Structure 1
Amino acid sequence: LVVIPQGFSQNLTSGLKGELEVYSLINSLSFSEGAKSSVANAPINAYENLLVYRTIKEAFPDRAPETVLDPISLRNVIVFRGTIIEAPPEALMGLFMSQSFGFPMVIMLMLISAMQVAATSISIEKEEKTLETLLTLPIGRLSILTGKLAGSVVVAVAGAVAALIGINYYTTSIFSSVPTEELDLSALGLTLSPISYILLGVMMFVTIVSALALAICVATFSENVRSAQSLVGPLNILIVIPSLILMFADVEILPFPIQAIMYIIPYTHSIIAAKAAFVGDYFTMLRSIAYLSIFTAVILYIAAKIFTTERIVTARVSFRRFRKKTFSPK
């Protein structure tokens, strides 16, 4: 309900502000009620603009009202990595924001799901005693380890593809209002080249293998599925912390001690390499792949050592004694 008080028109013609009273009837706290209450704003704003344009024409008959209201015209030019292109910076920032959220989220979901799959596989076989039977067969233990890694990789890649589709839909929906169509992405070098695709695939493969091997090494000390999940859970910190930090900041702007910690964590390099692929920074990608390869080789060596000894069968970390000691009455 819009109420026009007495003297409204006289105030406007005298150069004073006119006051309107808008009554909104709200029966509940919901978006639909809020939308109803804002219906009157559109015609009021249109009438206000009409008054402003008429006043400007009367005061400046030889000037366009648009020029008086907006006397400055901006011409935005982006300089990105030595390339100059005419476009608003908001378009590029929106694109970077979508990638900053998308890449870390996909890698985080992929690695966590892969580690859970590998840990569950080992723990179930140890709990059901099928791993002992498998080790007695005339098959090399390294072949068994390779088979487990291969099976887990297939499941993890399928989960990663599903996560990638979901994240892509999410980021597209959130940033659909950003005018990225005004950007020539190829001119800025923001398109994935064939080399970037290859290096990105190598990086993802090495990252998945290292996460699977790490989960298998830890899960060998479990008694059952529940204890395996408890043992692998703390490893997620190595994935979640870099992902969350790199969503909002680059490593280079962090304090040096935090930079050192971030660079030590191997999965930081996975996210850095994914972002570098988008801008064609091959040196950063190769450096990250090299670090991940060294870490993966060390983890695979440890996993192979565990599988070639009886520790794969006898190793146990019991949580029952810990619970009894913790919750036993004094």
Structure 2
Amino acid sequence: MSSYSPQPGPQQSSGMAELRLVLLGRAESGKSAAGNAVLGREEFQTEGDNTDTVTQECEKRRATVAGRQVAVVDTPDWFSSQRPPEEVAHQLSTCAALAAPGPHAFLLCVAVDQPAELELRALGPLEEVFGRGAVRSRTLVLFTHSERLAQSGEGADGLENYIVTRRADLLQLVEKCGDRFHGGAEGEEGEEGEERSIRELLEKVEQMVEEAGSGHYTSSLFQQAEARVRQRQEEILQERRGGEEEEHWEEEEWDRTREEAERRAGDLQLDTVPSFWLSPSTAPPSFLRSVWETLAAWLRSVVKFVRGGALLGGVVRVLVGGPVGGIVGATVGSVVTEVGKRKHVKKQ
């Protein structure tokens, strides 16, 4: 694993008016606490506040950090939850709208003392939704709960040495994210330690942006989101100005409606919803139910029933795997084909 050392003063050359960060990770990975650490104040509720504060909706907060404007988007757990596909799609759409026209970085929050199997499995779906290059060129692994290593004595030789010598899963995760990682965004001892850690994190993010050479990250999803946000801005201003045309709007009015438009624009129609919720540790009934819910959503877009039945059966076999996957896949394929035939007969 190569060392990723920030160069001094990248903010002077990046020319970014606002640094947009999207926090990703499973529940209790420390996403919200990391977001609070970046912003320098308690903006997001954390699991330490009470037992009902696990993030349920995407939220965006802004602050001036180390002399620059930073926006942080906190997200729910898409990795191992049992959320219905429609809800996951809504949350992904909301995230895209809040981060439009595109984030400068995705911060993948990973508890350093936990297995990273789910995170490794999620990298493919992340690029499926956010676009090719989202992981390799724009994701930084943010290791959280690093204080637990100090308490156990396992991190005595430093975080990087711990990852290289003891945690092949974390090493693989970092390598897939372009060898970018940071530890201690929430957990540094003392206020000065935490501030120093945040400065280093932002420097690493800005260096990543410099190396990408394209300002903020973008893809078809974020382009759609930005178009929808602008459409919502126009609608809001027309409502407030009695249908007045755009040429009469003041720039300040346009800027003031941006946040409201972002909140209203989370209704994009996603082509695919990745199966973050399909976890190997999920109990069989919940697992099969979530598979069926996913397939039911896809069925609405199937046009040719025979071909669709075979396709869906194959998808199930891949998702479930093993002998069970073969049985379930064959069953689903047969059912879909038979249903399609009956519908076809009725239409005749």
| TM-score past 0.5 threshold | no
Q: TM-score, normalised by structure 2?
A: 0.26
| Structure holding more strand per residue | 2
Structure with a larger share of its residues in helix: 1
TM-score (norm 1): 0.27
